[in-house]
Amino acid sequence: MNKLEEICATKREEVAARKQERSLSDLETAIRAQTPPRGFQAALARAQDDRFGLIAEIKKASPSKGLIRADFEPAAHARAYAAGGAACLSVLTDAPYFQGHEDYLIAAREACDLPVLRKDFMVDPWQVAEARALGADAILIIVAALDDSVMAEIEAAALDHSMDVLIEVHDAAEMDRAARLSSRLIGVNNRDLKTFTTDLATTEQLAPRAPAESLLVGESGISSHADCARLADSGVRSFLVGESLMRQADVAAATRTLLHG
Ligand SMILES: O=P(O)(O)OC[C@@H](O)[C@@H](O)c1c[nH]c2ccccc12
């Protein structure tokens, strides 16, 4: 079993337990009390028309790096990312592997007016309703983790709630499977899921294979303006960046430097 399979197996158990505690109708009630989705893909598209689109990630820890930031303050990081010019936020909510929490998403979304992606391992459409109930504006579908039918069900649930879907691929076969979904917001993960090493060439190689009219996002291992400029040469003008920004003392300044050099 590779790490992704292990994480998803743990997630299935977690979701089974949560479903016992919270019915779908209970979630629907919470959703009605939520503010409407903020338009994640539209915000990213506007930003990259102007310059670069940044999805800045609120990430406390990861399986490969352990604790990334000790003085972890989701609301303060959200405000710093917004001040630095990020178009959108991504907030890790997976607890067992990333030390994330739903409360971090709620706090980050309340602290600014950027659209927020719930970064978690979606294995069941129920989680989409849960994400919207928390306020999430977008969810992630990891193609490597799902078969085609579950993927389509999760996407349909998100579109039903007027949320955007970031579809994550990391090889050519996954890009072809992503093309069969309807979302055209496609992230190429530069991180090899087996070795955890990152290589920006992954985005460069897969970008030409994306369906027409896709909004492409380069994900993982991006740490400088030069990295962004390099990926822009292959037509990718939006980026998902976590660790390199989370490690900075002045997150707002680092975000500005990443975007503007
Ligand atoms: O911290 P980085 O190297 O900038 O990467 C951010 C983001 O791409 C990464 O956290 C990520 C991409 N896809 C994921 C899926 C699950 C958990 C995490 C991720």
Q: Is the CB of 183 under 6 A from ligand 1?
A: no
Report, as an integer, the average pLDDT of 210-234: 97
Nearest ligand 1 atom to the CA of 140 is 15
From the list 119, 130, 183, 214, the catalytic residue is 119
Alpha-carbon distance of 37 to 221, in angstroms, equals 28
* 2 included as an active-site residue: no
**pLDDT above 70 coverage of the chain, percent:** 100
Direct distance between the N- and C-terminal alpha carbons of the chain, in angstroms, rounded to an integer: 41
Taking alpha carbons only, the member of 148, 168, 258 closest to residue 219 is 168
Contacts for 149 with CB less than 8 Å, ≥ 6 apart: none
Atom from ligand 1 closest to the CA of residue 168: 13
Residues 6+ apart with CB under 8 A from 100: 59, 60, 91, 92, 93, 94, 119, 120
Nearest to 181 by CA among 171, 166, 192: 166
**Per-residue DSSP letter, 36:** P
Tokens of 209: 């294979």
Count of alpha carbons within 13 angstroms of residue 84, beta-carbon side = 30
**Tokens 């007016």 belong to which residue?**
113
Q: CA-CA distances (angstroms) from residue 46 to 39, 51, 53, 114?
A: 11, 9, 8, 13
Q: Using most ligand atoms within 8 A of CB, pick from 55, 89, 119, 244 the residue to mutate for ligand 1.
A: 119
Binning the chain into helix, strand and coil, the percentages to the nearest 5 are: 50, 20, 35
In the chain, the DSSP E strands lie at 53-58, 61-62, 66-67, 88-92, 116-119, 138-142, 164-169, 185-189, 215-219, 238-241
Residue span of the structural domain in which 167 resides: 3-260
Other CB atoms within a 10 A radius of the CB of residue 122 amount to 28
Give the model's pLDDT for residue 133.
98
**Any atom of ligand 1 within 6 Å of the Cβ of 220:** yes
**Distance (Å) of CA 62 to CA 120, 142, 193:** 12, 17, 13
How close is the Cα of 219 to the center of ligand 1, in Å?
A: 6
- What is the C-alpha separation between 259 and 233, in angstroms, rounded? 15
| Mean pLDDT value of segment 229-252 | 98
User: Helix (H, G, I), strand (E, B), or coil: what is residue 186?
Assistant: strand
pLDDT at 35: 98
**Residue 49's CATH number:** 3.20.20.70
Which tens digit of pLDDT belongs to each residue from 176-209? 999 999 999 999 999 987 788 999 999 999 999 9
The number of folded domains in the chain is 1
Distance between CA atoms of residues 247 and 59, nearest Å: 10
Q: Does the pLDDT of residue 170 top 80, yes or no?
A: yes
The pLDDT of residue 70 = 95
Best residue among 197, 219, 247, 255 to mutate for probing ligand 1, ranked by most atoms within 8 Å of CB: 219
Q: What is the pLDDT of residues 96-140, one digit of tens each?
A: 999 999 999 999 999 999 999 999 999 999 999 999 999 999 999
Q: For the segment 217-227, what is each residue's pLDDT rounded down to a tens digit?
A: 999 999 999 99
The answer to whether residue 183 is catalytic is no
